[in-house]
Amino acid sequence: MTTTLVLGGARSGKSAYAEKLAVQSRREVLYLATASAGDAEMGARIAQHRSERPQHWSTVEEPLHLASALQRHGTEDNLILVDCLTLWLSNLLFYGGAGPDVGVITLPPLFIEQRAALLDALHKAPGDVVLVSNEVGMGIVPMGAMTRCFADEAGRLNQAVAAVCERVVFVAAGLPLTLKA
């Protein structure tokens, strides 16, 4: 079992690189999608991603309970490609309606529970797992408590997942840079 975290900025090529790893594995691939089409633009993004993937890959959509999906669908013979952790983070942080964008943000209990469950599931995954996540902390500090909370939690999530994974790759301009092998 190998776990790999693929990080990068928006449109950096991280998803394409993760999909390349999945193809090269020569394993049965299950694409675990975390996105939800909340509007037409996101629906178009999802459709575009779907059209670019090999048709024989299975797809499971799970916007919240990622750990249980990994446990349910992981086998010794397959590779699960999770795309992406930052959308999953958004889903959890805004589950049940976003809080005010002022003051101290209290993390939802569902987020705390699911984050811990994901880290535990990665330790127990029977097959290979490739996770895609945005690196959002390389720019300016965002305005607003909620966006700062998101950037902070994305950074903490990426650090925790990277600590558990055997491999970590950063992608910029379509070029992979191995951070941990």
What's the pTM? 0.94
Express each pLDDT in 80-133 by its tens digit: 999 999 999 999 998 876 555 567 788 899 999 999 999 999 999 999 999 999
Q: What percentage of the chain reaches a pLDDT higher than 70?
A: 97
Query: What is the model's pLDDT at position 96?
Result: 72
- 50, two tokens: 């779907």
Query: What is the model's pLDDT at position 168?
Result: 98
Phi, psi of 116 (to 5 degrees): -65, -40
Query: What is the model's pLDDT at position 141?
Result: 81
Judge whether residue 46 has pLDDT over 90: no
Task: List the end-to-end C-alpha distance of the chain, in Å, as a whole number.
Answer: 14
Q: Which of 3, 1, 49 is nearest to 161 (CA)?
A: 3
Whether 123 sits among the annotated catalytic residues: the reply is: no
CA distance 18 to 23: 9
Judge whether residue 60 has pLDDT over 70: yes
Order of all β-strands in the sheet with 58-61: 58-61, 28-33, 78-83, 128-134, 3-8, 167-172, 175-180
Phi, psi of 180 (to 5 degrees): -150, 130
Q: What percentage of the chain reaches a pLDDT higher than 90?
A: 73
Judge whether residue 147 has pLDDT over 70: yes
Mean pLDDT of 56-70: 96
CA distance 123 to 172: 28
Please provide the CATH number assigned to the domain covering 3-180: 3.40.50.300
**Other CB atoms within 10 Å distance of the CB of residue 98:** 11
Q: Which residue has the higher pLDDT, 64 or 106?
A: 64
Query: What is the model's pLDDT at position 99?
Result: 58
Judge whether residue 14 has pLDDT over 60: yes
Mean pLDDT of 165-174: 98
**Which member of 49, 56, 65, 123 is catalytic?**
49
